[in-house]
Amino acid sequence: MADSTPSRVIVVDANILINFVHAGGLGLLTSLPGYDWVVPEDVVSEITDAAQRQQLDTAIANQQLRVETISGPSDLVQYAELRRTLGRGESACVVLAARFGWLVASDEKGKFLREVTARLGQGRVVNTAGLFVAAIRAGLITVEDADAAKSLLEQRRFRLPFSSFWDVL
């Protein structure tokens, strides 16, 4: 019997994709139950490392991630406004999330979070730590596996503000 739980759509920024590639692969991210994943074309173009791009292209080909392009006139105007202070991928994520009522997956802070809150409201951003917690709760990985991934990310200069995922469960 098919799962009838409605999916929430999350538009994902490059930093999340890169973190999950470094931490063991996009399969964990796209396996989270209850979510459909969208990656803006602008984010796809930001992934320039060959190994990272290969994983992204594979996830797209396997329909684990769906690519969306900003094309409507009002969306393009919003995108241009956001580009004054945000990067291409971040701007595209905000525009698509605002247009369709989606969540945003990003580890960006500062201006980005202010724009998301202003345009979408509170509680519309999920980050790397939150996605790992969701994977633990869904039984996709253990806390020990998540802590090992955290260690790998720290070797790549991505720090989480806790010593173990046990601290945030």
Model confidence pLDDT, tens digit, residues 72-124: 999 999 999 999 999 999 999 999 999 999 999 999 999 999 999 999 999 99
Rg for the chain, CA atoms, rounded: 16
Amino acid sitting at position 120: L
Distance CA 17, CA 43 (A): 9
Model confidence pLDDT, tens digit, residues 31-79: 999 999 999 999 999 999 999 999 999 999 999 999 999 999 999 999 9
Q: Is residue 161 part of a domain?
A: yes
CATH of the domain at 70: 3.40.50.1010
Nearest to 87 by CA among 65, 112, 66, 119: 112
Q: Is residue 100 part of a domain?
A: yes
Q: Is residue 3 part of a domain?
A: no
Which is more confident, 25 or 19? 19
pLDDT bin (cut points 50, 70, 90) of residue 24 is confident
Mean pLDDT of 133-152: 96
Q: Is residue 2 part of a domain?
A: no
Q: Is residue 56 part of a domain?
A: yes
Q: Is residue 88 part of a domain?
A: yes
Report the domain count for the chain: 1
Name all contacts of 26-29 with Cβ < 8 Å and 24+ positions apart. Answer: 26/55, 26/56, 26/58, 26/59, 26/64, 26/65, 27/59, 27/64, 28/135, 28/140, 28/141, 29/131
Where in the sequence is the domain holding 93, given as residue range(s)? 8-167
Q: Is residue 1 part of a domain?
A: no
Q: Is residue 99 part of a domain?
A: yes
What is the DSSP track for 96-119?
Answer: HHHHHT-EEE----THHHHHHHHH
pLDDT at 61: 97
pTM (2 d.p.)? 0.94
Grouping H, G, I as helix, E, B as strand and the rest as coil, residue 23 is coil
pLDDT at 6: 62
